Amino acid sequence: MDWGYIISVMIVSAFGVEAIVFGLAAIGINMQFGYTGLLNFGQSAFMAVGGYSVAVTVIELGANFWWGVVIAFAVTIVLALLLGIPTLRLRADYLAIVTIAASEIVRLILRSVTFKEIFGGSDGQFSFGADFFALSPLPEDLAFRIGPVVLNERQIFVLIVGWALVFLSCLIVWLLVRSPWGRVLKGIREDEDAVRSLGKNVYLYKMQALVIGGLFGAIGGIIYAVGNEAVSPDFFGTDTTFFAYAILILGGAARVFGPVLGTVIFWAIIQGTDVFLRSAIDIGVPVLSLMTGTQAAVVRFMLVGLGIMLLMIFRPQGILGDRRELALDAR
């Protein structure tokens, strides 16, 4: 078995585009769930809004890429308000059900034949990142090699911008949660009624947390779009949201660097297992080679599901978290 190849794939995936995308989505969920206690199960909808706003603005409206980013943010805020207004006054499980429903609504509309002219149906939209890559100062023949994996100049540019955004987001979250505003959010998570009795408008604070978390998700969606130079509707399914939850719980909710650590470890494990199983099948390792390639690809999802269960049962605070701080309970 080629361990060098497996390890280099693990390194590349730990810091790859997917790690950035899901890291940003998890940072958004951290804002909503980790700090405020809001169960947003529709983060994939916010990611879809980000990615598709950029794609549709460039391809269908023929406008500049950066207008796409502006539109992405505007639509994200509208979506968050639409979801928040009916549900933020209700119990936590209502928000969960409505947001997961909303994410399916968004996905079904994006992949429908009816709106194919705008969103490109189940194939999605392709190649719209020219304006973004025009900013790249990197030489065109630049290539970076990690073992047998080669990254070209565009990929390196996306990674640099993406990780810069991840750390900028962490800085923003850090500044927000240590402010008086952030303390109110934590107060809402711990005891909503106590905060309300202190004269704070809980509804407004929750709405702000939902919008800000959604914006991080939208940025993640934009990075996904430029990183692949394509958006397709089925990426933005509910599994994507739950991957981000797994990442957040793994790294540690209510910790600034929880999502970052979570995403690095998560993708190293997930892609590492995938490559390991595939090469085990190729060289015919006993027992493992009874699997087919498609079955091996399913194993990662089982791992995520099992991981979510075990973490939530045995270590709900994840790697970085503090069990006393994060008393996840019914609200």
Residues that bind another protein (CB under 8 A): 39, 83, 85-87, 89-94, 96-98, 100-102, 104-105, 108-109, 112-114, 123, 239, 242, 245-246, 249, 292-295, 297-299, 301-302, 304-310, 312-314, 316, 327-331
* Minimal distance, residue 164 CB to another protein, in Å: 27
DSSP 8-state class, residue 138: S
Helices (H) and strands (E) in the chain, counts: 14, 4
Return the number of the residue (3 or 314) whose C-beta is nearest another protein. 314
- The CA distance from 209 to 263, in Å, is 21
Q: With contact defined as beta carbons under 8 Å apart, do 9 and 1 qualify?
A: no
Judged by beta carbon, residue 114 or residue 197, the one nearer another protein is 114
Q: Give the nearer residue to another protein in terms of CB position, either 7 or 303.
A: 303
Shortest distance, CB of residue 174 to another protein, whole angstroms?
25
- To the nearest whole angstrom, how small is the minimum distance from the Cβ of residue 309 to another protein? 4
Rounded to the nearest 10°, the torsion over CA 97, 100, 102, 105 is -120
Q: Could you give the CA distance from residue 113 to residue 50 in angstroms, rounded to a whole number?
A: 21
Report the C-alpha gap between 94 and 66 in whole angstroms.
35
Going by their DSSP bridges, the two strands 230-231 and 125-126 should be labelled as: antiparallel
Write down the least CB distance from residue 270 to another protein, Å: 13
Cβ-based nearer residue to another protein, 27 or 100 = 100
Of residues 219 and 230, the one with the C-beta less far from another protein = 230
